[in-house]
Amino acid sequence: LGVVTAATSLITALAQKNPEEFKMSVSLAVSRLSRIVSSASSDLQDYTYYFIPAPWLSVKLLRLLQCYPPPEDRAVQGRLTECLETIMNKIQEPPKSRKVQYSNAKNA
């Protein structure tokens, strides 16, 4: 996931300059975000920070998605909506840790 995180930063920068050329990255970003959000903690054990799977990559993918309007494809739009609902529902869960780092990761 380290390479994916770095590549996402690069693609976001390029998409901000040439949005049309990187429009296909929207469906890939939604797919990756969906896998992160729906994965079990054990799947991304090395990339879990205070019970949040891959928070840095998730934030970068959301920043990439900000460069574009909502997807027109209903399937991609549905997956994105599901991801966002899952993220918002996890915010409402009671804290699993009292440390400030958990709060920061959860609300990133």
Mean pLDDT of 27-55: 83
pLDDT of residue 89: 86
Return the SS3 of 53: strand
Task: Give the residue, 54 or 52, on which the prediction is more confident.
Answer: 54
Q: Where are the beta strands (DSSP E) in 1-108?
A: 48-49, 52-53
What long-range pairs does 49-52 form, CB within 8 A, spacing at least 24?
49/101, 49/105, 50/96, 50/97, 50/99, 50/101, 50/102, 50/105, 50/106, 51/96, 51/97, 51/102, 51/105, 52/90, 52/102, 52/105, 52/106, 52/108
Report the predicted TM-score, pTM, of the whole model to 2 decimal places: 0.82
